[in-house]
Structures are given as structure tokens and as C-alpha cells.
Homo-oligomer: A and B are copies of this chain.
Amino acid sequence: MPKRDPKTRDQVPRATVARLALYLRELQHLERLGETTVKSRWLGQKLGLTDAQVRRDLSIFGQFGQRGVGYSVRRLCGAIGDIMGTDRRWPVILIGMGNLGRALSGYRGFEKQGFDLVAIFDSAPELVGTPFHGRRVESLDRLEAVVRKHKVQLAILAVPGSSVQELVDRLEKAGVNGVLNFAPVRILTNSASMSVMDVDMALELQRLAFEVVNRSEND
């Protein structure tokens, strides 16, 4: 089993975790551009962080840099990939083939980051069998079978809020460990084996509107 490097006490700050994927995205971009080293100052500028913060975050997992030089892009990429579990590919299922689900089924960003869409589902019988972006909609009856067959740990939920809780309970029983929820509802999970991440687009627009309203008086 992949244990993190021995020195690391197993308490990664939540704030650091939230930024880890951000670092990885930028580093992968740099690697594609052929850059071999990067400085904390440069990374920070690109992501809206201070250089000290970048160094602190990275130092939590080990000493990846070289004083006077910077960080090896390749090495950092590998290290963060390991830490985040991007060193392997993840089979993912998508449930809900409405407007949003259809768009998500064709979104290439997922597989670029190591996530393979192995099946798409919808509860509407008339949609079952319809192809979207080269994949046929399956009946929800087949949910458990598909999860077992592909050892699916992650599910994307693009269903109405009213169906979310029920589906999450079912997914949890089936062995799924993480759900990316697009409905504007908070999910309750009893067991610790299930993580949920919410993406609420209207909520983000509201936060934006608040920033705009309060723009003048602050900074």
C-alpha cells in the first residue's frame, strides 16, 4: 500500500490540500512547455499566492527544491501526482443525462487528468440506450453491477437535488467512496468511507455578485 514518505506526520493542512491540485495543474502545464525548473516566486505569481506560501505547502511533503536553483518541474510533478493519486487512472461513472450531464459526458478535461468515464446512467427509460459522445446511457438497474465490474470509486452526480440523497446512499452501499455533486443541496453521509465535493454554479455566481457589490469599499 502506498504510504506517504515516512517523515511526514499525517496531518496535511486542509488549506494546503485545496491548493495541491492547483500546483499540479500549473506544473503539468510547465512540463508540457518543456520547462525544467520553476521557482516558488514564479509558481506563486501564476496562482495568486506568495512565494513563502508555495514553499511552505511543498515543504509539508518533503524537500523537493534545490537552494539557489528552484524546483525540478519533473520531480515536483511526479511527487504531487503521487500524493494526489494521479499516478494511476480512475474509473468514473456519471449519473444524470440532462443538460449538464450531457455536457459533462463530452468534457475532455476529466480524462486529461486521469479520470475515465466508464458508464453513464439516467433514470428515464426513454433515454436508456441513447448514445452521447460515443457512450450509451445505461439503466440505473445496472448501477451496482457496473460499479463492481470496474471497481468504480468515484461518481459524478448531475441529477435533480431531490434524487441526490437517495442515490448517494445507494452508491455508498455499492462501494463508491467519492461523489462530485452538481445539485444545489448539501449531502449527509453517515459512514466515513464516503467523501462529497459540491460544485454549485449558481452559488459561485452569487459569491461573485457579492464581491462586485462590496468591491468599492474594501481593497
**In this assembly, does A7 line the interface, its C-beta being within 8 Å of a C-beta of chain B?**
no
- Pair B213/A201 contact, Cβ less than 8 Å: no
Could you tell me which residues of chain A, from 87 to 122, have a CB within 8 Å of some CB in chain B?
90, 92, 99-100, 102-104, 106-107, 109-110, 112-115
A165 CB, min distance to chain B CBs, angstroms: 12
Q: From the candidates B24, B25, B209, name the one contacting A84 in the complex (CB within 8 A).
A: B209
Q: From the candidates B103, B200, B204, B207, name the one contacting A100 in the complex (CB within 8 A).
A: B103
- Pair B208/A178 contact, Cβ less than 8 Å: yes
**In this assembly, does A54 line the interface, its C-beta being within 8 Å of a C-beta of chain B?**
no
A34-42, A66-74, A137-145, A191-199: which lies at the interface: A191-199
Q: From the candidates B99, B106, B199, B202, name the one contacting A204 in the complex (CB within 8 A).
A: B199
Q: From the candidates B110, B177, B209, name the one contacting A178 in the complex (CB within 8 A).
A: B209
- Pair A219/B206 contact, Cβ less than 8 Å: no
**In this assembly, does A31 line the interface, its C-beta being within 8 Å of a C-beta of chain B?**
no
Could you tell me which residues of chain A, from 164 to 219, have a CB within 8 Å of some CB in chain B?
177-180, 184, 186, 192-193, 195, 197, 199-215, 217-219
Q: From the candidates B26, B154, B205, B210, name the one contacting A17 in the complex (CB within 8 A).
A: B210
How many copies altogether? 2
* Contact partners of A215 in chain B: CB under 8 A: 177, 192-193, 195
**Given A103-B99, A178-B211, A197-B207, also A202-B86 (CB < 8 A):** no
Q: Which residues of A contact B (CB under 8 A)?
A: 10, 12, 17-18, 20-22, 24-26, 46-48, 83-86, 90, 92, 99-100, 102-104, 106-107, 109-110, 112-115, 153-154, 156, 177-180, 184, 186, 192-193, 195, 197, 199-215, 217-219
- List 20 interface pairs A-B (beta carbons < 8 Å), by A numbering: A10-B218, A18-B207, A21-B210, A25-B200, A26-B186, A84-B210, A84-B213, A85-B209, A99-B102, A99-B103, A99-B106, A100-B103, A104-B201, A110-B205, A113-B202, A115-B205, A180-B204, A197-B205, A199-B201, A199-B204
